[in-house]
Every structure is written in structure tokens, then in C-alpha cells.
A and B are shown apart, each in its own frame.
Chain A
């Protein structure tokens, strides 16, 4: 698998349901960030979680990080139609400044 690979690739849910997206990576990281991208638009930062953290919350968002499994998950609770977007994880590797983005999960929330 590639560094920063999300699954599922696409997810369709009803408004009010929870959405869970997963990200896996291969090498040691400094931190992991989740971004949202509406179609053809810019990247909106959601949450940064550092390698020594296990869980973070921000509003309806909950991110977990399991460094032993090299994986992270993003949970959006009580989803809304406005949450429809692509969601990307980006990992910062030890010793570098760059972030490597995953392929993204396309979330569609049906009203």
C-alpha cells in the first residue's frame, strides 16, 4: 500500500448517520493531518494529531491514531449534507518537511 492510503474510496450515507474513514501509512510519522476538499476547491484543514497522541476531538470530528498499526481514523458524527466532500489524510514523515497525501475518501451525505 502507499503512504497515506484511505479507505473506503467512496462512502454514501444518510444525513444524521456517522461516517468513518480510515487512513493507513507505511513509515514512521511526526504527525498526521486530515483535510477536506470540496469539488475543485482548496484544502481545508480539519485536525492535526501528533505521533504521541491517540485521540483528538473537534466539534463533530473525532480522530484516532494507532502508531502500532500505522493507521488513523476520522469519524464525523451526525453528518450533514454540507459534509459532502473528499477527505484526505496527510502524513508528515520523520525528518522531512513535506506531507504526503492519501488518495482520499469521497463522502456523499444524502439529505
Chain B
């Protein structure tokens, strides 16, 4: 079963608004990965975080790993319609990759 919890399950935003999804684990994570799955598509790797407190940015996307390495967040600034999809966090490495339940983002034009 799922070992990482994601909230919220669904999020509707107006284009231009910000969006944040959170990933929480009851155990310390060796690393956390983020994937995006467009409607009808397959998961696509976005980023991997490894270090405590790590922050990485990809254009309008900001990824953060908690100090205790038990939680992570993905923040999108000024959403666009191209951001629509489900965002998954996944715990582990090449030997174990377990996905959260995802946050489905809808961007209203």
C-alpha cells in the first residue's frame, strides 16, 4: 500500500494563482521524487531531492525537502493551463520506488 500521504487530493485554481501540494511520511526518507502525469499520459520524472532542507527550482516550480526528511512540497507560482495534471511524490531509490496517491490539479482559464 501507499506509504506516503499527499494532500490535497484535488485542487482547482484560477490561471495565474499559485498551487502547492504536500507529501508526508511517517518515516525518514532517503530521498523523495516528484512526477507529473498529464491526463491520459504516463508519469514523467520532475526532480529528486536528497538532502535535508533541500530546495530546488525549475522555472515556476519550487521543490522542498523538509529538515527532518519526512515531508516535501511542490509549489507552482502563477499556474498556467499547461500545468494541468496529477502530481505524485515517490519515496525511495532505484531499489524501492513507492508512489503517493497524487494531487490532481485543474487550472481554470
A joins B in a complex: no
Chain A residues near B (Cβ < 8 Å): none
Chain B residues near A (Cβ < 8 Å): none
